[in-house]
Structure 1
């Protein structure tokens, strides 16, 4: 495969996927063949292994590759046309409206919070608590807590112990990070909005930790409604 370093202004995981697609189009890698290791791909493309893992997660969940533990990553043995169609679906660059993304998260994460309150393990409780405490610390300092916010929501979906929900989160993770950054940059400029975000996260956390599924689902749903309201305020300010 003739790979080239990826420019950082691109969405990195999509750029990784694009190069693998091109390698298949050009016959440099065939259906059924093994891909280079994550380390090799990261070094060749000049990106982090986290970005490679994200790209491979997307490719695996959409049926482009098979990951065989201890063996490697293999392109599915399908026709080239079938594989390229899957790539086209992944790399579709249509710009989703931010409120559409919020509604998708509202649907998935509302139920994820419900099941997390029922299924969360003690180990997952410890992980969620540690992330929540970091999030609160940054929020109270009015700092942009993009990574902490994302990890808080992602850990709740993990605690739902539903692999399909987690796959959907992985597919939209890049868009999620963009939206979290946009809304948080606006919220921290307003004490009242920032305080509201803190309270919303607290309600979600408390309901899950105390095994209150209906309250957890309601708190998560209301949190995303709050995001919608903050988005409208942001739009009104910019007009």
Structure 2
């Protein structure tokens, strides 16, 4: 399919923003000036700016014109989560993605984790231990544990993706539920194995613990569906 004119112009402006030619907070030329520059109508420019605004690269302010902005991470995650929700993605696909991403996270953590990183994981683990009888509190610490793992990787993209996938998991009552105390105890065993794997620099052990952890969620989904 041929690229629409406004998409082509939006792409050119986006490239100028990402290359640093147009700096954050820089004011864009007026619609009239941009229309003359690109040899198109103001309507085409307006549509191009709308595309950039949806990407979080441009903010249009009434009576003040357009300004270059920096995409907000929370806004980007929210848009991705909404897109996944609206496309009715199979929850098993979310779990498969979590295994792929979080095992990649584990590999990076094992390669670079410092003693302080392991200490942070152990602290969250101890907080989960104290919350074993409180499903809601345990669930919060569980999510925090996985996000801390991602943070230990030192890779911001992995942090964003892990956060988004965890949010998608938590959006479903049966997918995000931590279940009964026996399930929480089993989850704790897997969390402990992950920490041990990081300490031992054992990637295979980490992958086995993570896959077992996600597989437990998968079984709970199947059990929930069988009850319906």
TM-score range, shorter chain: 0.5 to 0.7
The separation in 1 between residues aligned to 2:81 and 2:151, in whole angstroms, is: 23
C-alpha displacement of 1:57: 0.8
**1:236 to 2:226 alignment:** yes
Q: Which portions of structure 1, spanning 4 or more consecutive aligned residues, are displaced by more than 6 angstroms?
A: 23-26
Distance 1:186 1:158, change over 3 A: closer
2:179 to 182, 187, 191: 187
In the other structure, the counterpart of 1:163 is 156
In the other structure, the counterpart of 1:221 is 211
Distance 1:31 1:146, change over 3 A: farther
Q: What stretches of structure 2 of length at least 5 have no aligned partner?
A: 1-52
C-alpha displacement of 1:220: 0.8
**1:116 to 2:109 alignment:** yes
Give the match's secondary structure for 1:32. strand
The superposition leaves residues 161-217 of structure 1 with CA deviations (integer Å, 9 ceiling, x where unpaired) of 2232123224434313324x53464612xx443332222222122212332222112
Contact 1:57/1:170, CA 8 A, preserved across alignment: no
Distance 1:104 1:194, change over 3 A: same
Contact 2:110/2:202, CA 8 A, preserved across alignment: yes
Distance 1:161 1:61, change over 3 A: same
Taking the TM superposition and a 5 Å limit, the aligned residue runs for 1:26-45 are 28=62, 30-33=65-68
Give the structure-2-normalised TM-score: 0.62
The separation in 2 between residues aligned to 1:146 and 1:154, in whole angstroms, is: 13
Distance 1:32 1:229, change over 3 A: same
- Larger Rg belongs to: 2
Contact 1:114/1:214, CA 8 A, preserved across alignment: no
Give the match's secondary structure for 1:176. helix
Distance 1:173 1:57, change over 3 A: farther
